[in-house]
Amino acid sequence: MTDTSLNTGPEKTEAEKTSAPMPTAIVQKRQSPWRAPLVFLAMAVAIAAVGFGQSWSVALAIVNMSLVSALMAMGLNLQWGYAGLFNAGVMAFTALGGLAAVVVSHPPVWEALNAGGRGLTLSAVIVVAIIATTAFVAANLKGKLRSFTIFVIVVAGYIILRPVFGEAVSAVEAVDPARTGFIGGLGLPIMASWIVGGIFAAAVAWLIGKVALGLRSDYLAIATLGISEIVIAVLKNEDWLARGVKNVTGLKRPVPYEIDLQQTPWFIDLVSRFHADTLATAADAAARESMLRQLLIEASSAFVKIAYAGLFTVVLLIILALCVRALNSPWGRMMRAIRDNEEAAAAMGKDIKARHLQIFVLGSAIIGIAGAMMTTLDGQFTPGTYNPLRFTFLVWVMVIVGGSGNNLGAVIGGFLIWFIWVEAEPAGRFIVEMLSANMDPETPLYRHLQDIAAPFRLFVMGLVLLIVMRFSPRGILPEKVRHS
Amino acid sequence: MPETIDILNALTLMTNFVFVPALAYGSQLALGALGVTLVFGILRFANFAHGDLMAFGTTMTILLTWALQAQGITFGVLPTALLALVPAIIVTAVAAILIDKSVFSFYRKRKAAPVVLVIASVGVMFMLSAIVRFIMGTEDRRFTDGERFVVRALDFKKWSGLDEGLAIQTTQAITVVVTLVVVTALFIFLNRTRTGKAMRAYSDNEDLALLSGINPDRIVMITWIIAAVLATIAGTLYGLDKSFKPFTYLQLLLPIFASAIVGGIGQPIGAVVGGYIIAFSEVMLTYAYKKFGTYLLPDDLAPSGLVQFLGTDYKFAISFIILVVVLLIRPTGIFKGKVL
């Protein structure tokens, strides 16, 4: 490779058929050890500025979603930065994590299970039977006969499945459709869903990987993009599973509710001690009471957000530690060796296909965990809101801008890009106000200008991505390459 | 044995609800896929911004349509958008060349890996979609005018005496005619003209093409111009037929990619065939055949359910199921394209 500066990721030569070698010897300027701490400090200052300038509630909300985004970026970084796999299906794994949150935490809807449970179980049995027969046939027959038999089995299986499944689904969906109309979940604590979300995502990633990982990078991107749309289509339309576009709201929380906190004695005590000076200025007991009430409302909301931030930080740190360990272990070296030169790695006896599948599954699992955390934070599962710009390509921007191949880069990318994503809208609104300050509010142009603040963030995202790719193609915190 | 009248009714039913819509949709996909496949063949990367280039071209068409309508100029029975198409294509082509000069040419000159160009195209996709939303907002817009139908269902019933009507919208007829013209022109260009032959040579073997004195910059510029022409026409036809909504063009990217790959990426003829394959599969698999069966089968065998293979909600999923199957069985597509 002629110029190392433009490698945003693994390189690929013309002759290659499967996947991507990158320039092995990267001539790199020695990185200052202060770079990472300084970048994180700058990020903290930016968030604090939002806290002082806008409100602490917004700042805390940014922190929470940034933590989730950082986790997603780390999952994608595992796939792209370590292994050079172009996964454009991040959205699907996020949504599967969200599904896990519903399946784990929502109480079971017994009525629906009684109505359609038997049919659904039977359907599952039929599906397993189809798969088993197909696998058996695939292993024991050859050539045209095999393709024909598989085709017949699948079609016949579908014809048997369709009425059984259809009946069960309509039975389930008929149960109080305005409130439930789905089978519900297991009624377990929602934190368990973070692990289950990872498992769901990993299982689907294994299936996708089996099918698509042999493809060259652009193909893999298109295939995963398509499969992610299929996953979202299923979640949107299979109402029996998680209510589809009717959404599941009011999910359980791992942290207390604001309204309960406001009644809890130790919390009231804490708040009144914390704000003792302010409360002392109150004129009389009634004024003090109402002041305390107001402070309690604010403090309880902040407490909940901080509690989430604490939980998310713990998860992030655990996974970050694991990722960093993995990257610096022999396994990580092997992954990078495979990425940089597949043929050489294969010649050394590394099983490229198996390793790719492994890292694809692991990365997707992390994204699934992040997806479950996001749904937990939102308290609702809304399949209609998943779109590839927000949930796939935005995470890509995070990884590329942060620095692919570097875990801390992925984290800072998650924080920075989410920050920009949130703050671009007020910035856009500000620009619009500047533009339209002297305009007549009655003109169509003025009214039209008021609508452009929202897409402004898309514009900024594209611009940031292109600028970083052009002028700092290895990201804010570039991958560290050690030479022994 | 069903009577002749029943067979005719069934055929009309299929024409009306399956054949005509699928033909129109397939034409739109074919034009879109042609653009993707040309960019892939010449520039060697999958352009994720193509859907939004289509949206951009359509936006220009809509703006110019409004301008023309404000001047009192219409195109008689045909939609005014057809008049606006020509200047819109010019604007879009200029935009495409500007994008190439400011973004893609940098990476091309340095011989960056194709995947870098793909990621750059994601950046372009973000910015283009923002620009489209700046101009048009996010709501649904219909911009077709003129005569709505070529054949009306009632007239057809009266004329033929059948129970089933056949309606052909003007937009559908225009889509098919325009596609026919554009595809024919493109094939003549690629096969008969010097520039077209140079493009094919460049796509086949870059080094040999350069060696025989073909100017790569010119080839790239012409590729972008053609891509812009195709994108604007495809986008406008789709918008005329359905309606214009920025988000649908991002969704359209998926079936377009599927068409290009199924046909064999880098192969223009493959893109056209792929477009129709995807469109017909989508429409045929989501159509409820109950009525069709009622006409053809004896009464006691008439279907009770809808006889629908998949819900209409899975329309977009079908193209990808086909894509995955093609990838597994014949990764080069129907007309041996390049293996990506």
The CATH code of the domain that includes B126 is: 1.10.3470
Task: Say if CB B261 and CB B29 are below 8 A apart.
Answer: no
pLDDT band at A217 (very low <50, low <70, confident <90, very high): confident
Q: Does residue A218 share a domain with residue A346?
A: yes
Instruction: Give mean pLDDT in consecutive 10-residue pieces for chain B, a chain of 340 residues.
Output: 80 90 95 94 92 96 93 86 93 97 93 90 94 87 84 85 86 94 95 92 89 92 96 95 88 90 89 94 87 79 72 79 80 72
Give a yes or no: residue B185 inside a domain: yes
Q: Does residue A365 share a domain with residue A228?
A: yes
| Chain B contacts in chain A segment 445-474 (CB below 8 A) | 448, 451-452, 454-459, 461-463, 465-466, 469-470, 473
Give a yes or no: residue A304 inside a domain: no
Question: What's the pLDDT score for residue B338?
Answer: 67
Contacts of B119 in chain A (CB under 8 A): 8-9, 396, 400, 465, 469
Q: Does residue A472 share a domain with residue A397?
A: yes
Contacts of B327 in chain A (CB under 8 A): 211-212, 215, 219, 223
Question: What's the pLDDT score for residue A344?
Answer: 92
Q: Does residue A336 share a domain with residue A227?
A: yes
Contacts of B250 in chain A (CB under 8 A): 387-389
Q: Domain of B112? A: 4-246
Give a yes or no: residue B339 inside a domain: no
Q: Domain of A417? A: 387-484
**Nearest CB partner across the interface for A219, out of B110, B316, B340:** B340
What value does the mean pLDDT take over residues A210-214? 82
| Interface probe, candidates A19, A469, A474, chain B, greatest B C-beta count within 10 A | A469
Least confident among A70-79, A459-468, B155-164, B331-340: B331-340
Residues A26-56: tens digit of each pLDDT: 445 567 788 899 999 999 999 999 999 988 9
Question: What's the pLDDT score for residue A170?
Answer: 86
What value does the mean pLDDT take over residues A127-152? 88
Question: What's the pLDDT score for residue B257?
Answer: 92
Tell me which of A227 and A369 has the higher pLDDT.
Answer: A369
A151 Cβ under 8 Å from any chain B Cβ: no
Integer Cα distance of A193 and A222 in angstroms: 29
Give a yes or no: residue A172 inside a domain: yes
Give a yes or no: residue B106 inside a domain: yes
A404 pLDDT exceeds 70? yes
Give a yes or no: residue A430 inside a domain: yes
Contacts of B118 in chain A (CB under 8 A): 86, 217-218, 221
B317 Cβ under 8 Å from any chain A Cβ: yes
Question: What's the pLDDT score for residue A10?
Answer: 38
Q: Which of A206-215, A459-468, B75-84, B139-148 has the highest mean pLDDT?
A: A459-468
Distance to chain B for A371, nearest Cα, Å: 22
| Chain B contacts in chain A segment 53-92 (CB below 8 A) | 86
Question: What's the pLDDT score for residue A1?
Answer: 34
Q: Residue type for A455, please?
A: P
Give a yes or no: residue A124 inside a domain: yes
Q: Does residue A192 share a domain with residue A160?
A: no
Least confident among A112-121, A173-182, B40-49: A173-182
Task: Provide the token pair at A350.
Answer: 């590394």
**Nearest CB partner across the interface for A218, out of B115, B130, B313:** B115
How many CA atoms are closer than 13 Å to the CA of A404, on its beta-carbon side?
31
Contacts of B205 in chain A (CB under 8 A): none
Give a yes or no: residue B222 inside a domain: yes
Question: What's the pLDDT score for residue B197?
Answer: 92
B302 Cβ under 8 Å from any chain A Cβ: no
Give a yes or no: residue A17 inside a domain: no
Q: Which of A140-149, A451-460, B106-115, B228-237 has the highest mean pLDDT?
A: B228-237
Q: Could you give the number of structural domains in chain B?
A: 1
**End-of-domain residue from the set A327, A351, A386:** A386
Question: What's the pLDDT score for residue A484?
Answer: 52
Integer Cα distance of A22 and A27 in angstroms: 13
A114 pLDDT exceeds 70? yes
Give a yes or no: residue A37 inside a domain: no
A22 pLDDT exceeds 50? no
Residues A250-284: tens digit of each pLDDT: 898 999 898 888 888 898 888 888 888 888 888 88
Q: Does residue A214 share a domain with residue A87?
A: yes
Distance to chain B for A463, nearest Cα, Å: 7
Give a yes or no: residue B306 inside a domain: no
Question: What's the pLDDT score for residue B330?
Answer: 80
**End-of-domain residue from the set A386, A402, A426:** A386
Percent of chain A residues topping a pLDDT of 70:
93
A3 Cβ under 8 Å from any chain B Cβ: yes
Q: Does residue A193 share a domain with residue A159?
A: no
SS3 per-residue string spanning B138-150: CCCECCCCCCCEE
* A237 with B112: Cβ contact below 8 A: no
Task: Provide the token pair at B62.
Answer: 């809509």
Give a yes or no: residue A289 inside a domain: no
Give a yes or no: residue A154 inside a domain: yes
A391 pLDDT exceeds 60? yes
How many CA atoms are closer than 13 Å to the CA of A382, on its beta-carbon side?
11
A365 pLDDT exceeds 90? yes
**Nearest CB partner across the interface for B261, out of A8, A222, A393:** A222
Q: Residue type for B28, please?
A: Q
Question: What's the pLDDT score for residue A218?
Answer: 78
Q: Does residue A248 share a domain with residue A363?
A: yes
Contacts of A11 in chain B (CB under 8 A): 113
Q: Could you give the number of structural domains in chain A?
A: 3
Question: What's the pLDDT score for residue A100?
Answer: 95
Task: Say if CB A316 and CB A75 are below 8 A apart.
Answer: no
Contacts of B320 in chain A (CB under 8 A): 223, 226-227, 229-230
Summary mean pLDDT of chain A: 87
Tell me which of A181 and B188 has the higher pLDDT.
Answer: B188
**Nearest CB partner across the interface for A9, out of B116, B134, B261:** B116
Q: Does residue A401 share a domain with residue A483?
A: yes
Q: Does residue A417 share a domain with residue A338?
A: no
Distance to chain A for B74, nearest Cα, Å: 24
Q: Does residue A477 share a domain with residue A334?
A: no
* A233 with B314: Cβ contact below 8 A: yes
Give a yes or no: residue B285 inside a domain: no
Give a yes or no: residue B331 inside a domain: no
pTM above 0.95, yes or no: no
Task: Say if CB A462 and CB A418 are below 8 A apart.
Answer: no
Other Cβ atoms within 10 Å of B23 Cβ, number: 20
Question: What's the pLDDT score for residue B1?
Answer: 59
A24 pLDDT exceeds 80? no
A20 pLDDT exceeds 60? no
Euclidean distance between the first and final Cα of chain A, in Å? Answer: 22
Distance to chain A for B187, nearest Cα, Å: 26
Name residue, tokens 């749904």: A375
Q: Does residue A247 share a domain with residue A126?
A: no
**End-of-domain residue from the set A386, A408, A423:** A386
